Chains A and B, each alone.
Chain A
Amino acid sequence: MKPAPFEYHAPDSLEAALALRAEHGDEAKALAGGQSLIPAMNFRIAQPALLVDLNGVDELRFIRMEGDELRIGAMTTQNTLERSELAAKHQPLLFETVPFVAHPQIRNRGTLGGSIAHADPAAELPVAAVALDARMKAQSVDGERWIPAKQFFQGFFTVDLQPNEYLTEIAFPAMPPRTGWSFMEVARRHGDYAMCGVAARVTLDGKGKCKAARLVYLNVGEGPVDAEGAAALLVGEKITPESSAAAAEKASAEISPFGSVHASPEYQTHLARVLTKRALRRAHERAQAAS
């Protein structure tokens, strides 16, 4: 389990990293936390010609508020994120999601940007990003552009990044008032890729009815699956066991799980229904508490 030969660069500035990217394009694979890439290289599933190690690019490690947006540098480790008071205070759904990512040892090296750019359909952080309407900053030697999360994820391990761009920053806008949230998943063991998971968001109006909702699922499609139909069913309704069950039923038709050695598509669909109901209940309780 040794990787194929590759060239290795460790730039100490974003400028130098982007210059390498401009020069080598798709050949220049970014090394963030390496928690997916290095095993893939050891299995020789991935054989990049050149690794650009971003761990020395300190300017990509930050968590700060800009206006009411939480801005996080792409190289911020998941460990830093799960200990961030800013994240806890301003982005509780993201904060609640991070500990579900693998194990502490992996989160010590794994980064937010790495997880999002890798776009594993079973990963938690892309799902949280979509549920929170995050924006991704792509940078190249030619400049920068911001991409909404929903457009950023384009399918199986595929994101909207050009061959000369790196993902450098993720922005999480503030959640509206009277909003509750929940992240839940069912994994064989804690830290495993889950058989199904959901990030739920519920915003209530002044009368306690649902004003807006999001239900985004992991590992039941080619990327984060945003069940817009199920969420739309809830708008204007009270969040009750009945309306939640209807949403769960609708969501189960919007997902398309592949199945695996651990879960058949039928079982994954069943789990999606169970989790939808549980997550909506929890999100609703929190939205009521915030009203």
Chain B
Amino acid sequence: MTTRYFGQRIKRNEDPRLLTGQALFVDDVNFPDLLHVAYVRSPYAHARIKRIDVSKALERPGVAAAYTAADLGDYWRVGPLLVSPPPVRDIVFNERTQPILAKDKVRHVGEGVVAIVAESRYIAEDAVADVVVDYEPLPVNVDVRKTLEPDATLLHEDLDQNLAAHVIQHKGDYEAAKAKADVVIAREFWYDRGTAAAMENRGVVAQWDARFQKLTIWDTTQAPVVIRNGMAAMLGLSESQVRVIAPFIGGGFGPKIMMFYPEEMLIPWLAMKLNRPVKWIEDRSENFYTTTQERGQWHESEIALSKEGKILGVRDVFWHDSGAYDPYGLTVPINTQCTLLGMYDVPNYATEFKAVFTNKPIVTPYRGAGRQHGVFVMERLLDAAAKELGLDKTEIRRRNFLTPDQFPHNHKIIYQDFTELTYDSGDYEPILAKAKEMIGYDEFYKTLKPQAEKEGKLLGLGLVCYVEGTGIGPYEGARVQIQANGRVSVATGVGTQGQGHFTSFAQVVADQVGIPPDEIDVITGDTDQFHWGVGTFASRGAVVAGNAIHAASKRVRQRILDLASEEFNVPPEELEIGNGRVCVIGDPQKTMLLGDLANKANPLRGAVKPGSEPGLEATDYFGPPMGATAAGAHAMILEIDPDTMMIEVKRYVVVHDCGKVINPLILDGQVHGGVAQGLGNAFYEELVFDEQGQLLNGSFMDYLLPTALDVPRIEVGHHETPSPLNEMGVKGAGEAGAIPAAPLFVQAVEDALRAGGIELEITQIPLSPKRLWELVETTKAE
């Protein structure tokens, strides 16, 4: 039989094109009569717009048009609510989404006020300076808790406070559990904002073809089908009149999901209105204000335990910074609520959050999507508990793991996919054991650390655990077609932003049709190639689209067998498929190229049998009943310079269980990228807003992304607990690397400082050498 490609460490099909500059990105789309857009954006975080004068801009040679909110007439609108609030009892949710252009007032710096359309981006930017806007500045809300105070100025004046949502969920009875507890630990935590900083910024190009009555939109979106449907509705077109192409995209990470960003809504309308193709490419300065961000949660948390270290209950109350609008509903704070429970058996859980409006850029999911906040809180509480109880930090975790016989495990609270949070499968002790073994846990404390202490070095080890809810519904679909030249075409509705779909999806198909992955062409992100779908987010590509492709491939396989069975006049079980052929077992003469069979299945004369279809092709869909829960443990060793508080990560170990692995090479890459972003969140990256809502570090000079020099070599170990929810047994892995880095990092820092006689507790993230130095100085002074 043929090689099995599923599970192989195969190099990526897409890389030759990407590495040789042959891949199409949105900004590569050009037309001779293309118009360019630049925006006049608000310099204020909160202000009333008193007057806009675009007359001077319109006089500038090369300027085609300038639009204010008023100029949009009936087309002025706010973006749709993308995810409605989940069915939690007594939930409060105030839907306030972003306008296509600011009308009457602006609510964060960078909000678009005027769109200038010109013959070049240069001219458009020159004309931006010609526009006069009179603002009346209003008091600014930046603090996540102060914005709810009675005298806070309202962002949305039709509300009686700056409250976006209020959600309370309960499992069991926390207060009763607390009454019986031997130890109760209460802490406050702050997790600040960061930005995804995708290598490619956002961009939209739209072309209206009046003769074909067809609109084509090239868009850096993770969800082209959703954008097509939305744009068709907004523009009064049928879905077949709109084609959205999400070509190669330089990183999505969540903020490119399906926002209906103001520019996404405006550029296609301009192209139709002006009857010329129009392009807008976000620059990096704009990206810092206008692409959605994440983080910004204040937690007041409590854990109740028995003296053996068993968790009796957890209570967590938090404030979530939504930014100025809440188009993505409650996905981020709900993820926080649910992921906090981690790998642990928490019998009683009381959780409450208030999502609030602030005069800062909008918050929507970014890799981890609120999960890391929950993990930070739980892991920090366990660290404090371990210290209090004199338990080893890994032992307190082990004692509280859900055990294999507890799966599927229903946590009885509502998750982001609206179902009760239920872990499908898991086996956590081996993950912890493997992480300890790989990092050399016992050896570290027996030999390495005492030795380092003697040399005056501050060496610390961290080890934390997490779960990652992945692969949620509702569904994805795929069409698999064998071409006459023997290659396979696979089309699906998801977008792709570097995850390796062109290879891992090909591997799934290859095993069914007996054609190697490099002869399989995967097409993603073109709504004219596949009509149905949802998008790439929540680590769902491999799980949901992957299983749809698997199902379609199986049907194509069956079709090959049926047709060949007729052709050779033998029963299907006497046939085998491989090397691009189908042949009769034991009769080398009876063989046929699959391309030829595909040709035969598409006759030009005669007739296909009634009830059958032409071609070697099948379409299928997959929708899981609920998400698949992946899990893992990260461990690290770091060293702190005792004088400067600069930190060097010496080793980083990841043990991850995402069920069956399609391509370990691609999985490693996903984990590496996630860890880099996680380390960024822990130690390098922080969006620093002042009290006026102005970003103080809005460029890559001061917003510090960890570079190749700052990210350590990452050692990856795997554990495999197949998901029972899908035939391939896969779970998602896109966010795992990023989720636990912050609590891991601070735990290791505390461990290292302990060697220097400094006992402190870190409750804020991100950390920096400056902040660490201040903490250490304060501790010493005390």
Instruction: Say yes or no: is B189 at the interface (Cβ < 8 Å to chain A).
Output: no
Contact indicator B709/A267 (Cβ below 8 Å): no
List 17 additional A-B contacts (Cβ < 8 Å) besides A43-B285, A263-B769, A274-B644. Answer: A1-B283, A1-B284, A2-B125, A3-B122, A5-B126, A44-B129, A186-B646, A186-B769, A188-B684, A188-B704, A188-B769, A192-B704, A193-B701, A195-B770, A264-B774, A267-B770, A270-B773
Q: Which residues of chain B are near A2, meaning CB under 8 Å?
A: 121-122, 125
Q: Which residues of chain B are near A5, meaning CB under 8 Å?
A: 122, 126
Query: How many of chain A's residues have a CB under 8 angstroms from any CB in B?
Result: 24
Contact indicator B773/A189 (Cβ below 8 Å): no
How far apart are the CA atoms of A43 and B688 in the complex, in Å?
19
Q: Which residues of chain B are near A4, meaning CB under 8 Å?
A: 126, 129
Instruction: Say yes or no: is B213 at the interface (Cβ < 8 Å to chain A).
Output: no
**Shortest CB distance B124–A (Å):** 8
Given A190-B709, A262-B770, A274:B643 Cβ within 8 A: yes
How far apart are the CA atoms of A1 and B769 in the complex, in Å?
32
Q: Which residues of chain A are near B704, meaning CB under 8 Å?
A: 188-189, 192, 262
Instruction: Say yes or no: is B768 at the interface (Cβ < 8 Å to chain A).
Output: yes
How far apart are the CA atoms of A1 and B121 in the complex, in Å?
9
Contact indicator A189/B644 (Cβ below 8 Å): no
Instruction: Say yes or no: is A289 at the interface (Cβ < 8 Å to chain B).
Output: no
Q: Which residues of chain A are near B599, meaning CB under 8 Å?
A: none
Per-residue 0/1 for B326-362: is the Cβ within 8 Å of any A Cβ (1 yes, 0 no)?
0000000000000000000000000000000000000
Per-residue 0/1 for A1-28: is the Cβ within 8 Å of any B Cβ (1 yes, 0 no)?
1111100000000000000000000000
**Shortest CB distance A131–B (Å):** 21
**Shortest CB distance A87–B (Å):** 24
How far apart are the CA atoms of A262 and B699 in the complex, in Å?
14
Instruction: Say yes or no: is B707 at the interface (Cβ < 8 Å to chain A).
Output: yes
Which chain B residues in 115-157 approach chain A with CB under 8 Å? 121-122, 125-126, 129
How far apart are the CA atoms of A30 and B129 in the complex, in Å?
25
Of the candidates B129, B696, B770, which one forms a contact with A264 in the assembled complex, judged by CB atoms under 8 Å apart?
Answer: B770
Q: Which residues of chain B are near A189, meaning CB under 8 Å?
A: 684, 704, 706-707, 709-710
How far apart are the CA atoms of A229 and B257 in the complex, in Å?
59
How far apart are the CA atoms of A43 and B284 in the complex, in Å?
10
How far apart are the CA atoms of A72 and B706 in the complex, in Å?
35
How far apart are the CA atoms of A14 and B323 in the complex, in Å?
54
Which A residues form the contact surface with B (CB < 8 A)? 1-5, 43-44, 186, 188-193, 195, 260-264, 267, 270-271, 274
Given A2-B121, A188-B769, A189-B684, A262:B126 Cβ within 8 A: no
For A273, the closest partner residue in chain B by CB is: B643
Contact indicator A186/B126 (Cβ below 8 Å): no
Given A4-B126, A189-B706, A262:B285 Cβ within 8 A: no
Instruction: Say yes or no: is B702 at the interface (Cβ < 8 Å to chain A).
Output: yes
Q: Which residues of chain A are near B696, meaning CB under 8 Å?
A: 261
Which chain B residues in 292-308 approach chain A with CB under 8 Å? none
How far apart are the CA atoms of A223 and B450 in the complex, in Å?
44
Chosen A-B contacts, 22 in total, with CB atoms closer than 8 Å, are A2-B125, A4-B129, A5-B122, A5-B126, A43-B285, A43-B699, A186-B644, A186-B646, A186-B769, A188-B769, A189-B684, A189-B706, A191-B707, A260-B702, A261-B686, A261-B696, A262-B702, A262-B768, A263-B770, A267-B770, A267-B774, A271-B644
Q: Which residues of chain B are near A44, meaning CB under 8 Å?
A: 125, 129
How far apart are the CA atoms of A195 and B701 in the complex, in Å?
13
**Shortest CB distance B514–A (Å):** 46
Instruction: Say yes or no: is B697 at the interface (Cβ < 8 Å to chain A).
Output: yes
Of the candidates B646, B688, B706, B709, which one forms a contact with A261 in the assembled complex, judged by CB atoms under 8 Å apart?
Answer: B688
How far apart are the CA atoms of A271 and B686 in the complex, in Å?
22
**Shortest CB distance B758–A (Å):** 16
Give the dominant DSSP class at A's interface.
loop
Contact indicator B285/A1 (Cβ below 8 Å): yes
For B707, the closest partner residue in chain A by CB is: A189
- Most chain A C-beta atoms within 10 Å of own C-beta, residue among B686, B709, B769, B770: B770
How far apart are the CA atoms of A4 and B123 in the complex, in Å?
9
How far apart are the CA atoms of A260 and B773 in the complex, in Å?
15
**Shortest CB distance B484–A (Å):** 47
Q: Which residues of chain A are near B702, meaning CB under 8 Å?
A: 260-262
Q: Which residues of chain A are near B774, meaning CB under 8 Å?
A: 264, 267
How far apart are the CA atoms of A193 and B284 in the complex, in Å?
20
How far apart are the CA atoms of A5 and B60 in the complex, in Å?
13
For A278, the closest partner residue in chain B by CB is: B643
**Shortest CB distance B756–A (Å):** 15
**Shortest CB distance A10–B (Å):** 20
How far apart are the CA atoms of A191 and B644 in the complex, in Å?
17
Q: Which residues of chain A are near B769, meaning CB under 8 Å?
A: 186, 188, 195, 263, 267
Q: Which residues of chain B are near A260, meaning CB under 8 Å?
A: 702
Per-residue 0/1 for B683-701: is the Cβ within 8 Å of any A Cβ (1 yes, 0 no)?
0101010000000110101
Which chain B residues in 249-289 approach chain A with CB under 8 Å? 283-285
**Shortest CB distance B123–A (Å):** 9
Contact indicator B697/A261 (Cβ below 8 Å): yes
How far apart are the CA atoms of A4 and B644 in the complex, in Å?
42
How far apart are the CA atoms of A192 and B768 in the complex, in Å?
15
Q: Which residues of chain B are near A43, meaning CB under 8 Å?
A: 285, 699
Q: Which residues of chain A are near B701, meaning CB under 8 Å?
A: 192-193
For B128, the closest partner residue in chain A by CB is: A44
Q: Which residues of chain A are near B699, meaning CB under 8 Å?
A: 43
Which chain B residues in 675-731 approach chain A with CB under 8 Å? 684, 686, 688, 696-697, 699, 701-702, 704, 706-707, 709-710
For A43, the closest partner residue in chain B by CB is: B285
- Most chain B C-beta atoms within 10 Å of own C-beta, residue among A44, A263, A267: A267
- Most chain A C-beta atoms within 10 Å of own C-beta, residue among B284, B643, B710: B643
**Shortest CB distance B605–A (Å):** 60
The 9 tightest CB contacts between A and B, nearest first, are A1-B283, A274-B643, A2-B122, A267-B770, A261-B688, A261-B697, A2-B125, A263-B770, A261-B696
How far apart are the CA atoms of A263 and B646 in the complex, in Å?
12
How far apart are the CA atoms of A44 and B122 in the complex, in Å?
12
Q: Which residues of chain B are near A3, meaning CB under 8 Å?
A: 122
How far apart are the CA atoms of A189 and B770 in the complex, in Å?
14
How far apart are the CA atoms of A188 and B767 in the complex, in Å?
12
Q: Which residues of chain A are near B126, meaning CB under 8 Å?
A: 4-5
**Shortest CB distance A21–B (Å):** 27
- Most chain B C-beta atoms within 10 Å of own C-beta, residue among A189, A260, A261: A261
- Most chain A C-beta atoms within 10 Å of own C-beta, residue among B122, B644, B702: B644
**Shortest CB distance B458–A (Å):** 15
Per-residue 0/1 for B770-782: is the Cβ within 8 Å of any A Cβ (1 yes, 0 no)?
1001100000000
**Shortest CB distance B122–A (Å):** 5
Per-residue 0/1 for B146-178: is the Cβ within 8 Å of any A Cβ (1 yes, 0 no)?
000000000000000000000000000000000
For A47, the closest partner residue in chain B by CB is: B129
- Most chain B C-beta atoms within 10 Å of own C-beta, residue among A4, A5, A270: A270
Contact indicator A267/B688 (Cβ below 8 Å): no
How far apart are the CA atoms of A43 and B283 in the complex, in Å?
10
**Shortest CB distance B522–A (Å):** 34
**Shortest CB distance A97–B (Å):** 19
For B688, the closest partner residue in chain A by CB is: A261
Q: Which residues of chain B are near A193, meaning CB under 8 Å?
A: 701
Q: Which residues of chain A are near B125, meaning CB under 8 Å?
A: 1-2, 44
How far apart are the CA atoms of A267 and B770 in the complex, in Å?
6
How far apart are the CA atoms of A110 and B768 in the complex, in Å?
29
For B704, the closest partner residue in chain A by CB is: A188
**Shortest CB distance A101–B (Å):** 14
**Shortest CB distance B639–A (Å):** 15
**Shortest CB distance B578–A (Å):** 48
